[in-house]
Structures are given as structure tokens and as C-alpha cells.
Structure 1
Amino acid sequence: MLNPVWLKTFITLVDIGHFTQTAEKLNMTQPGVSQHVNKLEEACGYNLIKREKKSFSITEQGRLVYNHAKTLIRVENSLFEQLSYDDPFSGKCSLACSGSVALFLYPKLLKLQNQHSNIHINMKAAPNHEILTDIKNGIIDQGIVTDIPNESFFDFEELGKEELCLIVPQEVNVNNSWGQLLLDLGLIDHPDAEHYLSMYFRQSKKEDLTQLDVTSIRVIGFINQINQILEPLAHGIGFTILPKSAVDCFHSLERLKVLKPQQPVVETLYLVRKKNKVLPARYASFNSIIQKAWS
């Protein structure tokens, strides 16, 4: 990399056209100016000026170095301008969350992009552990998870709580044991199903569920597209478990039945970012929408 001090001296010399005046402008001695030019020529491997007694002319190689140095100055000035202005309505906002949260939240966030076309919203559906890994590695700026993250690595805030729903086909008779019913129906599995079921069985306080081992439930299908998980149930096949927001978005709610425990089962949602990370100004509006979604 060429020494920026030598480049500055060379640019000034070419612009002024005189060694003595260059030295005066840079508060240097004339031999000091000559030394900078000589060192720059040695670093480039070419003569940058042709000396003619008290004057000089720039060589072709000197012209290329001069133009290069000018470009570096313009780029640096542009960088400092960008650093000094953090546009609150321009740039990428990234967020990772579960598929059900994305289904609920994405339409609300798109309103921000409709209002400010230079805001670009990037959303990724992923499980908790992957979200935290991506935040820690700087792949995404923020995520929404359902477990309190390690405070050594992450800053977080509680967004709110969301009810989990155990769903079966509408025609199913639920007067008998829920545990046996689930075993008979079979699970329509999805990436978060095991996590949701474990939480539901612990919190529901229904004895036949608290004694049920999640791994003992047979899986009769798997879908990783959040908007299709309830389709088999609408056709009378199996059961599944999803947050209420995902259920409410389904197009044929009349073909589903949500089991109602005495005590609702809820999960807590946390907005997470890397420890001590300062987010750009555009996240103020972005996060305001997220926070209001559960208020």
C-alpha cells in the first residue's frame, strides 16, 4: 500500500507545480518534498516526474499515480460523509424468527417499506439456536426467540406472550383423554413442533398430557412451510401445535378445532441482538412496529 503522506505531497506538488511553494504549503523543507517524491517513485518502481533544473514535468506513470491518489481522496471523503449521516429511512433491516412469527409480523413490516422504498426488509425463518448463532456471527442484526438468551453474548427485551394452540380436525370427538386422542391421530410435524409440544405438556396441567412422552407420538407427516401445516387437519388428518397467530391466519378455520385447556399455554417472545451492538437509525421505526405488534 502506498504511503498516504507521500501521495499527499505528490498531489500537492503536481497541483502547484513548484517544489519551494509545495514545501511552504505543507510546512516542509524543499529537500523533504523531494525525499517524499523519491520514496514514492521507489515504491512504484517508476519515475513519476521528469526533473528539468528548477522545473519538472509529470510522466505517464506519474499521471496514473496522481489520478489514483485523487480517487482515494474522493472515496475517503465520501466515506466520511456517509459516516456522518445515518439515514433513518434507508438501508437493510434484517430479522430472523420462527415461521409463525414471520407469518404474523411480515405484513406489518411491509407497511414500513411501502412508506419508505429505500428500506429493505430481510426476514429469515429459523429455529432458536440458529437465530442466536446467526446474530452472534453477524449474519443478521436481530432475532425473535422464545428462550432467554445468554446475557454474556446478547442484549434482549421481552416483546410479549403468545398462546400455543393444540389443533385437531373439526369433526374429532374430544370428550375422551387428550393424550390418547393425540396418540390415535398422529402428529403433523414441523420444525418447532417438538419444542411446542414439550412446553404445552408441561404447562397445560392436564394429567394425561404431563405424563405423555413427546417421542411416543407417531409422526404421520412433516411440513416446513408454515402456511401449509394446517392443510392436512382441514382434510381430517392428524393433529399439530402452533402459536395462535399462525392459526388465525389460516383460510379455513371452520374446519379446525382448537383444544382448550383450563390454563392457557403461552410462550414468551424476546427481541435479541448482539451484546452492545449499536443499530443504525433505520431500526427505530422497524423495532417500533415489532414492539407494537404484541402490545
Structure 2
Amino acid sequence: MFNAQYFRTYMMLVETGSFTQTARKLDMTQPGVSQHVRKLEEYLGRSLLNRHGRRFSLTDPGRRAYDYAVKLFAEHEHFRHSLDDDSPDSGECRIASPGSVGLMFYPFLLGYQQMHPGLTVNYSFAFNHEIAQDVAAGRYDIGIVTETSKHPDLRFEAWHQEPLCLVVPADFTGTTLGELLALGFVNYNDGNTNASLVLRSNFGSEFRSMSHFPRQGFTNEVGQVLDAVARGLGFTVVSRPVLETSPWQRQVKEMTLDQPVYETLHLVSRTDVELPKRYRQLLESFRQQRLNSLYGYSELPTLETT
């Protein structure tokens, strides 16, 4: 019968090279150590040690049994820590977000994982409705979304706000709604919604609808939309992380707005699941970093749950 303790005793024996030291470290008797090794040999049907009086060397099966024991207990420790919901520095993190969030959040998570090797990050880029559905189905533990919805099994929590940026080609000199109208609009999945919010807040009664703007193109990948703007094909409105992580940020510029507009990011999780501490710690670390970067302070707004 398989007995993990036999493997542990054998592994300790190989590492100490002494029956006496093994017995002392494992709080056993020396005959008890010998019995564990003998039982393990009987279980495997192979001799593990070449005995030379009080000394010994490993047979080929003995070396392989030691390598297996090392892997066995390493995996055991990894599994044990993965179940520890109270540990902020270990376990698996299953997270999903739209690309507008993930372009900055995913690199942060990789750096965070380097600082906390006990963590494993599984990250997916998806659309808002897909994220909500997959969290409800248990495929992710938490999602970050820009839109909320009504679902009996889900909890939406306001988490963080990012500025929306009106982005134009670097050589664009216009400042009026008419000049933006002449330039045209480059759209993406949330483009119409974000542009409407910014233009309505900053151009008042002049702005009527995004349908009046010539469409200069569409992409379902927000990370690519500034390529079209950099080429002078039109303007767009994206969240600040998209602009800050874009390889085209030097070929575009952000228009100054009289009325700043923000995109609210929400955390979505199951109502019947309490999130482990590791999620709260990494999410808080990212939000603090962004607040310090954007505003030079870390005071947080009151969060709301829906």
C-alpha cells in the first residue's frame, strides 16, 4: 500500500546520509527508519540501497525513488498552499478583464507574481458580457468590467476610475467640435459610449449624437485603435491605460478637456463566494499604484455594491 511517510523518511535518509540523523530529525527510532525503508522497498519491489556496514549508496531505482519523493512533496506543498485562502501571497488567481484594463493590469500582475512566487496568475482578455457569464459559471473567480448588469448570482463593486482621453493625431491643431467632426471618428467596441460621454460633457448642446461623425474605421481590439489615429485617420476616446501603454503614444496627443470624464471599473464576483485575501491584496496594490500615478495620492472613494 502507498504510504507517503515511507517516502518522506527515505528522502530524509538520502539527504542526511545517516540513519541516526534521520531518526533524530523525524523524531523516530533508528529501527523505525530502517523499517520504513524496508517497507518502501517491499512496496516498490526494488532494492533502494547498497548497504556497506553503517554506510550506504543508492541503487539506480533508489536514485529514481528519491527524485520522485522530492517532486511528490514539492507538489504537496504547492497544493496545500493553493488551498490557503487566508494567505495573501500564495494560491491561484483567475481573473478576466477587457483589453482596455488588461493592457496595464496584466503586466502589473506579472511583476506582482515575480515578487510573490507562491502566486499563480491565470488571466483572460474578454468582453464585459462574457466576463460576467464566465464568473457566474465559475470559470473566473473575479472579473473587472466597465459595465454592470443584473444577475442573481453576481455582485458588482465599484473599484476604480480611469480618465477617458480624447485622442487625436499628433499634428491635429483643432479645438472645436466642428473640427473633430471634419476629422472623423475611429471606433471600437466601447468607442461610441466613451466618446458620447466625453463630447456631451465638453461640448454641451453642440453635441447631438455620434451618428453625425464620419466613421473612419473600426477594430474590436482596443490596443490597436490608436494606430489608426496615429496615421491621421480620425480621433477616438480611450481610457488612460490604453493611451499610456500604446506603442503609438508619441504619434498621437490627448486633447485638453474642460470637464474631465472618468470610466468606472467594477469588480464582479459570485455572491456566494468570499474572495481570498490574495485577491484583495493584489487589487488594492494596483489601485494604489494607479492613484499615485494619476493624482499623486492614494485616498480612495467609497465603494458601492450592486
TM over 0.5: yes
Which shifted more, 163-172 or 279-288? 279-288
Residue aligning to 1:250:
246
Aligned mate of 1:191, from 189, 192, 200: 189
Is the counterpart of residue 160 in structure 1 residue 154 in structure 2? no
Does the CA contact (< 8 Å) of 1:93 and 1:286 recur in 2?
A: no
Distance 1:202 1:132 in 2: 29
Equivalences, count: 212
1:287 aligns with 2:283: yes
8 Å contact from structure 1 (residues 95, 140) kept in 2:
yes
Q: Which runs of 4+ in 1 moved over 6 A?
A: none
Worse-superposed segment, 258-267 or 279-288: 279-288
Does 2:84 align with 1:102? Answer: no
Please report the TM-score for the alignment, with normalisation by the length of structure 2.
0.60
Q: What is the aligned partner in structure 2 of residue 128 from structure 1? A: 128
Conserved 8 A contact 1:206-1:261: no
1:137–1:202 Cα change, 3 Å: farther
Residues 279/160 of structure 1: CA separation in 2 closer, same or farther (3 Å cut): closer
Is the aligned partner of 1:239 residue 2:203?
Answer: no
TM-score by length of 1: 0.62
Query: Which residue is 2:150 aligned to?
Result: 150
User: Is 1:266–2:262 an aligned residue pair?
Assistant: yes
SS of equivalent residue, structure 1 residue 289? helix
Cα distance in 2, alignment partners of residues 96 and 289 from structure 1: 17
What residue is the counterpart of 1:207 in the other structure? 205
One-letter amino acid of the structure 2 residue matched with residue 272 of structure 1: V
Unpaired runs of 5+ in structure 2?
Answer: 1-75, 292-297, 299-306
Deviation at 1:255, TM superposition (A): 2.5
**Counterpart AA for 2:172:** V
Structure 2: distance between partners of 1:269 and 1:183: 29
Structure 1's unaligned 5+ residue stretches are 1-77
Contact kept? 2:81, 2:91, Cα under 8 Å:
no
Who wins on radius of gyration, i.e. which is larger?
1
Amino acid at match of 2:100: S
Q: Is the contact made by 2:82 and 2:92 (CA closer than 8 Å) also made in structure 1?
A: no
Using a 3 Å threshold, how does the CA distance of structure 1 residues 217 and 139 change in structure 2: closer, same or farther?
farther
- Residues 129-182 of structure 1 show CA distances to partners (whole Å, capped at 9, x for unaligned) of 22222222222111112334437432233222211111111222314x31x333
Query: Percent identity over the alignment?
Result: 33
Give the whole-Å Cα distance in 2 for the aligned partners of 1:250 and 1:130.
Answer: 25
